[in-house]
Structure 1
Amino acid sequence: MQRLSGLDASFLYLETPAQLMHVCAVMVLDQSTMPTPYTFDDLMAGIDDSVHDVPAFTRKIRGVPLGLDHPIWVRDQQFDIERHVHRLAVPSPGGYRELIDLCSHLAALPLDRSRPLWEMWVIEGYRPEDAEGQPGDERIVVFSKMHHATVDGVSGSNLISHLCSLEPDSAPLALVDEQSHGRDPSRGELLGRAVMGTATRPVTLARVLRPSAQLITKTIGRAREGTAMAAPFSAPRTSFNGTITGHRSIGLADLRLDDVREIKKATGTTVNDVVLTLAGGALRSYLDERGELPATSLLATVPVSVRETSRRAEGANKVSALFTKLGTDIADPLERLGMMAERNRHAKDHHKAISADALQDWAEFAAPRTFGLAVRTYANLRLAEKHPVVHNLVISNVPGPPVPLYFMGAQIEALYPLGPVFHGAGLNLTVMSNAGRIHVGALACRESMPDPDALVQHFPGELERLRKAVAAKD
């Protein structure tokens, strides 16, 4: 019997019709590299062959009686690939705008919890524009969705990678899956284990309270020294910081990884410093165009993988988070990068003082019924608009494959990740590297940000501004 970790289960409890907790990806494929001509049936059969023995794709949620404990994973005995892989076509004329409108609609559809928590939509007829602005060769697009209870950024990237190969006619990469389908226990066994878990909860609470109290003391000391990470509830309010709806909007952009690496090398910073600096510049330009630029810097939550340091073997999500200011109050891109690098060093040092499993430890106390009720009450009362802004947005930087990959024989030309949005922070920016490119995916609540494309299209310009500033300095 495999129980969901508290952190994995929390993503189930956080979910409402407006606050959907799946992660998405837009994968653009060149089907001309496939060993045999593309057909949807062959593609679906290939996906079926690759996933039918992989627990992350073939297990489903089973609740515990009376909601006394977190749910468990069990194998879906009626697993059917046709319930997970679907076929669509881009509306005419089949360009970028039609594609992101269609993907925005798909991102707003909840996953069926009676089945394994993933879907793929194979979208045909996409014709991206060429350098002259004319419709180019047709491409296949795969829009994927997996629930956050099943994957985090790193594990989601790994799952996609293991459906791919290094050559068009090679078998998919072998998947080393640490999870299992889990035994399907009786109702009595589930209830008994839940009661035992509830009885030992005070002991567990005492164990996590002491290091948490010590952390608070250390954080106060860091704040006095000016070396603490940015504090939550200190963000300025923007148009995308309020109660969200179930509608979604998407924007996609591309950057050259070599340009980012050159800036990193010339300035002694990191790729993450440069990416966050570009995000800060893009947000500054976007808000300034609309007359909404706050006088103080926007604050981002940045998820951090703790897979290398976590002591926990169980759980799909092994993440922590840090807060960082994006320098949207700084016009000069090079000055913003210097500020970002310094603040990120402080934030990383501060984060190292936090146990890798702290978030997972506290998530174990998320009571299924109480947690879900609290989320719905918070949304219904629109409390996100009545207290100080916790953070403005979430920004994730996910390492991707350094070499070209082939999905069922079709070369992956682009892979845009899309993370979930929350009440109070209706924008998510996720960045992934892929074979020498950096792909930027923005997902937003449509009412909060109707056109995220207007934001992400500032990324290439911000990269050029920063590159020129670095060159001028030398």
Structure 2
Amino acid sequence: MKRYWLITSLGRQMKSLSGVDGAFLHLETNETPMHVASLHAFDLPAGYAGDFHADIKRQMRRRLRLAPVLTRKLAPMPLQFANPVWIEDDEIDLDYHVQHLTLPSPGTQAQLEDGVAHMHSQLLDRSRPLWRMAVIDGLQSGQVAYYFKVHHAVLDGQAGVLLSQALFDVTPKPRAIPRGAGPHAAHPEHPGLAELAAAALKHDVGQYIKLVRHLPDVAKTLVGLLGGTGGTGSTPGQANGRLGQNFSFGPKTPLNVPITGERGFAAVSVPLDTLKRLAVVHEAKLNDIVLVLCSGTLRRYLAQHGGIPRKPLIATMPVSLRQAGNTEYRTQATLTLVNLHTQMADPVKRLRAIRDAAGAMKALAQRAKGVIPTDFPSIGVPWVLQGLAALYGRSGIVEAMPPLANVVISNVPGPQVPLYAAGARMTDYWPLSIVEHGIGLNITVMSYAGTMGFGFTTAHVAVPDPRQLSAALLQELADLTARSRPAARTSRTR
């Protein structure tokens, strides 16, 4: 992957944002913050009598240079005529970046979720590196927690897993940080107009050249997709039929409305082995089980809020375009659509239908991933995207048009070994993400150390009580497990 760097006359390195990362900046409004986050619960070591907030701040100070996202800030272009560039910030204010929050008594899980939802509604300060965290105590369980958010312009889900490698340890004893990971030489001067313009032009010229070179590959891939089977082992007619189920508008639901900036959040963890056993029983993938649980959760929720639509709900799902070994901190993903078949009451039949639909879409995305752009020229783009973002929520388009997708569902593979922060063992890893006008619910799932953490990020106007969703998910899991037991016994007798 080619990188576009400019070394300024001041000795400063500037890194251009990709087109996709820039879009997350320009589409951000007060109603639609564009950061992603995670909530972590920890067991303190036996006999611990320290200050966890102070320990975390001390650890962050030592690890700032282990991940570029922690020290980069934006240098905006004059008049925002193109994407800003990343520069190093040599004055990181950890008193700002590492907050301390004590929950009011009794410190329930619901209070924790509500506090995190409030923090998730607040925009990040663009004059600083685009991350912030809050260390949280006062939990009824005796645990401690922290919430960490970072702008989506900085990273995607897979890059978030890379960031966790810098933040956490795999043993209770924190690892030694090499001396070479210390602060860089300071360059406090802001890049000048000429330097910023040169960075924008250099980036865009490179992208135009890249687009022209890739046009033959794009045409060849499109011809193959239109005429092929999509890699599913079926005939072209069957493959196109399965794909056609995904490419349709979803029904209007209470989830698909213009939103405000107020957020809700609910979290639940389930044993990963339980989901894997269900996948084996039904000859499905783990992601298919996640989708059918989300589908059933939505059925249960909508049954109490306006009724289950006859037309199936459509989910939009991120698909990673990251190549093996790629450790760049930027977004490398695209979106695809999957039919959730919510019109089917039987979870087993629904699972089979989702399995086929999701498999066809994944095969399509994999075949096309080599030509899907994650970067593009940016001159003039900020004006266009900022105007569209401001117009979209107020124009009535959301209410007038049927939704292309009803919900965002994302499944991110996470670390499968226990992680530690300042000696405390992480017990739960719950993701938070982005909701938008017309899509007031985002379900992001993260596997961690034998558990699967489901995070329900909601717009309050779309889902007033997100804990109804987490409760519905557990009910759906129990129902699917009960209906799968006869099949499990049959498979063991063969």
Same fold, judged at TM 0.5 (above): yes
Correspondence for 2:276: 261
Distance 1:394 1:181 in 2: 42
Retained in 2: the 8 A contact 1:232–1:391? no
Distance change in 2, residues 1:198/1:267 (3 Å): closer
Distance change in 2, residues 1:424/1:356 (3 Å): farther
Cα deviation, residue 309, structure 1: 6.4
Equivalent of residue 478 in structure 2, options 459, 464, 469: 464
Distance 2:380 2:470 in 1: 35
Distance 1:309 1:368 in 2: 31
Could you say what secondary structure the match of 1:353 adopts?
Answer: helix
Distance 2:363 2:282 in 1: 20
Distance 2:219 2:399 in 1: 30
Distance change in 2, residues 1:164/1:36 (3 Å): farther
Distance 2:414 2:204 in 1: 40
Correspondence for 1:69: 82
Cα deviation, residue 54, structure 1: 3.0
Q: How does 1:164-243 map to 2 (within 5 A)?
A: 164-171=168-175, 185-195=191-201, 206-207=212-213, 211-212=217-218, 221=227, 225-228=240-243, 230-232=245-247, 234-243=249-258
Given the alignment of the two structures, is residue 297 of structure 1 paired with residue 312 of structure 2, yes or no?
Answer: yes
Cα deviation, residue 11, structure 1: 0.6
Distance 1:363 1:395 in 2: 29
Q: How does 1:155-166 map to 2 (within 5 A)?
A: 155-166=159-170
Higher mean alpha-carbon deviation, 218-227 vs 444-453, is at: 218-227
Q: How does 1:72-83 map to 2 (within 5 A)?
A: 72-83=85-96
Given the alignment of the two structures, is residue 447 of structure 1 paired with residue 461 of structure 2, yes or no?
Answer: yes
Distance change in 2, residues 1:290/1:171 (3 Å): same
Correspondence for 2:321: 306
Correspondence for 2:339: 325
Query: TM-score, structure 2 length as denominator?
Result: 0.86
Which amino acid in structure 2 is aligned with residue 158 of structure 1? L
Which amino acid in structure 2 is aligned with residue 139 of structure 1? Q
Distance 2:221 2:115 in 1: 46
Which amino acid in structure 1 is aligned with residue 299 of structure 2? R
Cα deviation, residue 68, structure 1: 3.2
Q: How does 1:8-407 map to 2 (within 5 A)?
A: 8-33=21-46, 37-127=50-140, 137-171=141-175, 185-195=191-201, 206-207=212-213, 211-212=217-218, 221=227, 225-228=240-243, 230-232=245-247, 234-308=249-323, 316-356=330-370, 358-361=372-375, 367-407=381-421
Distance 1:190 1:396 in 2: 35
Distance 2:380 2:423 in 1: 43
Retained in 1: the 8 A contact 2:75–2:191? no
Distance change in 2, residues 1:220/1:296 (3 Å): farther
Could you say what secondary structure the match of 1:26 adopts?
Answer: strand
Query: TM-score, structure 1 length as denominator?
Result: 0.89
Retained in 2: the 8 A contact 1:161–1:173? no
Which amino acid in structure 1 is aligned with residue 405 of structure 2? H
Retained in 2: the 8 A contact 1:242–1:426? yes
5+ residue gaps in structure 2?
1-13, 230-235
Retained in 1: the 8 A contact 2:17–2:83? yes
Show CA shifts across 1:291-324 (max 9, x none). Answer: 32110111111111121269x9866111122210
Distance change in 2, residues 1:452/1:171 (3 Å): same
How many percent identity over aligned positions?
32
Retained in 2: the 8 A contact 1:233–1:389? no
Which amino acid in structure 1 is aligned with residue 406 of structure 2? N
Cα deviation, residue 394, structure 1: 0.8
Cα deviation, residue 69, structure 1: 2.6
Cα deviation, residue 347, structure 1: 1.1
Could you say what secondary structure the match of 1:360 adopts?
Answer: coil
5+ residue gaps in structure 1?
128-136
Show CA shifts across 1:203-244 (max 9, x none). Answer: 555455555556655555568531426445511111111211
Which amino acid in structure 2 is aligned with residue 154 of structure 1? Q
Distance 1:143 1:280 in 2: 27
| Alignment root-mean-square deviation, CA | 2.8
Which amino acid in structure 2 is aligned with residue 405 of structure 1? L
Retained in 2: the 8 A contact 1:84–1:120? yes
Retained in 2: the 8 A contact 1:244–1:426? yes
Cα deviation, residue 95, structure 1: 0.7
Distance 1:466 1:118 in 2: 39
Retained in 2: the 8 A contact 1:73–1:181? no
Could you say what secondary structure the match of 2:430 adopts?
Answer: strand
Show CA shifts across 1:182-203 (max 9, x none). Answer: 9864321221343455567665
Aligned residues: 461
Which amino acid in structure 2 is aligned with residue 296 of structure 1? K
Could you say what secondary structure the match of 1:19 adopts?
Answer: coil
